[in-house]
Structure 1
Amino acid sequence: MTLSKRANLLALLGILFLALNLRGPFTSLAPVLGQIMDDLALSASSAGFLTALPLLSFALFSPLAAGLPRRLGLYPSLAFALILIASGIVLRSVGIELLLYLGTIFIGAGIATGNVLLPVVVKVSFPARISVVTSLYIFTMGIGSTLSSSIMVPLTGIEFAFLSGWQLALLFNLVFPIAALFIWLPKLRNKKQSTTANASDGSPTPMKSLLKCPVAWQVTLGIGLNSFTFYAFAGWLPKMLNDLHFSEVDAGYIYGFLQFSTMIPGLLLLPILSKSNSQRAIITLCAGSVFVALIGLITLPDYAVFWVGMFGLANCSTFIIALSFVGLRTSNPGQAAALSGLSQSIGYALAATGPTLVGYFYTLTSGWTIPLLIIAIVAGFCVAFCNLAARDTKIFQNEPVQSQRNG
């Protein structure tokens, strides 16, 4: 293997191992939440706040993460994100309520930093394969999420030293950041590689100027509205299915099917994106399918399994392609970091409002038609902004750039 190929392989492994940490520590909480509530005597409102805290942390820390590479360097910033996640996992597993919240904030800050900077690493390491590598790492995020969530309950039956139950289960997530650090820490000692990554950042991109850029807003709203539809829909799906006369067991299976369906696009899109010079048609189709799935669930609820699967596939496909725009619509890693911070901060802020808004209209109308219509309307706006963001135009540039093969 040549030195260049070996470097590319190590860079890809670093990206994928980092991606393993960007969803699992968040989603692994839900399977053991009941045990945590019983053990720490948490109220339902406290537990609800605990589940919303990561999304709020994402929204708060994403814009701060965009400036970290200028202070620490790109690779040290990624190592810092992994250390935050690892520290949060340990604190959350101690079994003290205050540390449970504090650890969750640490995890949220670390994941937010990783979410913002991972598209920058992709742009630095694989500038000609941005969409393909983005698909791969989103798929890997799904693997980490599925693995962490599925083994939480079995692990609660194991005792080790002074740890047992949900504490030991949540502490298992520590395996992933430690494994990723083994890959990223050697990069910190490679001064030449680190200097190259930092030198390619380009001049700083002020957030104020980014807020005045139409392309930046198109990418941001494409990602943000897509995130809103997912969290607003997924957060209430089991209750929704119960009210549509599905049993709790069936509702649980369908909810699991939704999570599974979000893993598939990372593989399905690989051959398409590797051969396509334009994402406009595919993202319009995917974002439009989210709207169709929601309308289908309203009009033909008996086919909920089909509509939920369609929603998961289409929503995650839209997210993968929209996230690749962070690299494709910027001219250097500095711009990519700023756009990633803006889009994910606003995106998760929108996502955090989704479940609350849907719950309010459900209470107001005592049904799911109006809430689903609201999510569908948001999905319609998402189609429009994704279509605009898919045009081959860089930020801070009025004219479309000459089409390039961006994979």
Structure 2
Amino acid sequence: MTLSKRANLFALLGILFLALNLRGPFTSLAPVLGQVMEGLSLSASAAGFLTALPLLSFAIFSPMAASLSRRLGLYPSLSLALFLIAGGIILRSIGVEVLLYVGTVLIGAGIATGNVLLPVVVKIAFPARISIVTSLYIFTMGIGSTLSSSIMVPLSSLNVTQFSGWQLALLFNIVFPIAALVIWLPKVLKDKRSASAGIKDSPPTSMKTLLTCPIAWQVTLGIGLNSFTFYAFAGWLPKMLSDLNFSEVDAGYIYGFLQFSTMIPGLLLLPILSKSNNQRAIITVCAGSVFVALLGLIALPDFAIFWVGLFGLANCSTFIIALSFVGLRTTNPGQAAALSGLSQSIGYALAATGPTLIGYLYTATAGWTVPLLLIAIVAAFCVMFCNLAARDNKVLQGR
């Protein structure tokens, strides 16, 4: 194996192991949330705030990631993100209510930093394969999420020393940041030059500058509106299905099918993106299918499993392609970091409003037609902005 191929392999492994940490520690709480509520005597409102806290953390900390990487360097910043995730996992597992919240915030800060900076690593390490590598790491995020979520309940039945079941289960997530640090830390310590390269060597770009750039807003709204549709829909799907006369068991299976369907696009898109440069057509079809799935669920709810599967496939496909625009629509790592921070900060801020707004509309209308129509309208706007973002233009072009 040549030196360049070996370097590319280690870069890809670093990207994929980091990606394992960017969803699992967040989603693994849900399967044992009831046990956490019982163990710490949390009210329903406190538990609701706990589940929303990661999204709020993503929105708050995402804008800080670019400046952090410029100050510390790209690779040290990503190593810091992994330490934050690891520290948050430990604090969250101790079994003290205040540390549960503090740990969740640290996990959110670490994931936000990783989410913003990982597209920058892809742009630097694989500039000619941005879409393909993005698909791979989104698929790996799904693997981490599925693995950690599926093992939570079995682990929670165990008791080891002072740890109750749910504490041990949540602590299991520490495996992922440790595994990633095994790859990242030697790279940072061995080659300080490459560790500080990338964003530091790029012309500085602030998110404030991008606010005047149409392409930056098109990418940002494409990602943000797509995130809104997912969290607004997924957050209420079990309740929706229950009101549509599906049994609790069937609703659980269909919800699990939604999570599974979001893993598949990472593989399905690989051969398509490697052979086609027409991202505008692909993302229009994917984003448009989200709109179709929502209308289909309104019109033909008996076929919910089909519409839910279509929604998951289309929504995640849209996210993968839209996220690749962070690298494709920028000319240097500094711009990519700024655009990634802008798009994910606004994107998660929009996503955090989704479940609450949909819950309010459901209460006000006593049904799911209006809430689903609102999500469909947002999906239609997502089609428009994704289509505009898919044009081969660069941010700050001509400036």
TM range (shorter): over 0.9
What is the SS of the residue equivalent to 2:315?
helix
2:388 pairs with 1:394: no
TM-score, normalised to structure 1, is 0.97
What is the SS of the residue equivalent to 2:198?
helix
Query: Could you report, residue by residue, the CA deviation over 1:330-386 in whole angstroms, capped at 9, with x for unpaired residues?
Result: 000000000000000000000000000000000000000000000000000000000
Match of 1:77 in 2: 77
Query: Could you report, residue by residue, the CA deviation over 1:110-166 in whole angstroms, capped at 9, with x for unpaired residues?
Result: 000000000000001000000000000000000000000000000011122221210
2:122 pairs with 1:125: no
Query: Could you report, residue by residue, the CA deviation over 1:23-69 in whole angstroms, capped at 9, with x for unpaired residues?
Result: 00000000000001111100000000000000000000000112111
Q: Distance in 1 between matches of 2:284 and 2:309?
A: 18
What is the SS of the residue equivalent to 1:396?
coil
Q: Distance in 2 between matches of 1:280 and 1:68?
A: 33
Q: Distance in 2 between matches of 1:198 and 1:22?
A: 21
Identity %: 81
Match of 1:48 in 2: 48
Residue pair 2:222, 2:385 contacting (<8 A) in 1 also:
yes
Match of 2:313 in 1: 313
Match of 2:355 in 1: 355
The CA deviation at 1:167 is 0.2
Query: Could you report, residue by residue, the CA deviation over 1:255-307 in whole angstroms, capped at 9, with x for unpaired residues?
Result: 00000000000000000101112200000000000000000000000000000
The CA deviation at 1:86 is 0.1
RMSD over equivalenced CA pairs, Å = 1.0
Q: Distance in 1 between matches of 2:341 and 2:396?
A: 17
Q: Distance in 2 between matches of 1:195 and 1:4?
A: 20
The CA deviation at 1:191 is 2.4
Flag as ranges the 4+ runs of structure 1 deviating above 4 A: none
TM-score, normalised to structure 2, is 0.99
Q: Which residues of structure 1 form unaligned runs of 5+?
A: 400-407
Q: Distance in 1 between matches of 2:342 and 2:109?
A: 15
Match of 2:198 in 1: 197
Q: Distance in 2 between matches of 1:161 and 1:75?
A: 37
Query: Could you report, residue by residue, the CA deviation over 1:305-341 in whole angstroms, capped at 9, with x for unpaired residues?
Result: 0000000000000000000000000000000000000
The CA deviation at 1:195 is 4.5
Q: Which residues of structure 2 form unaligned runs of 5+?
A: none
Q: In the alignment, residue 380 of structure 1 is paired with which amino acid?
A: A
Residue pair 2:72, 2:196 contacting (<8 A) in 1 also:
no
The CA deviation at 1:388 is 0.1
Match of 2:298 in 1: 298
The CA deviation at 1:398 is 5.9
Q: In the alignment, residue 288 of structure 2 is paired with which amino acid?
A: G
What is the SS of the residue equivalent to 1:319?
helix
The CA deviation at 1:2 is 0.6
Q: Distance in 1 between matches of 2:52 and 2:8?
A: 37
2:213 pairs with 1:208: no
Change in Cα spacing, 1:196 to 1:167, as seen in structure 2 (3 Å) is same
Query: Could you report, residue by residue, the CA deviation over 1:176-207 in whole angstroms, capped at 9, with x for unpaired residues?
Result: 0000000000111212422443554x111122
Q: Distance in 1 between matches of 2:95 and 2:196?
A: 42
What is the SS of the residue equivalent to 1:124?
helix
2:3 pairs with 1:3: yes
| Deviation larger for 72-81 or 389-398 | 389-398
What is the SS of the residue equivalent to 1:67?
helix
Match of 1:404 in 2: none
Q: Distance in 1 between matches of 2:398 and 2:282?
A: 24
Q: In the alignment, residue 28 of structure 2 is paired with which amino acid?
A: S
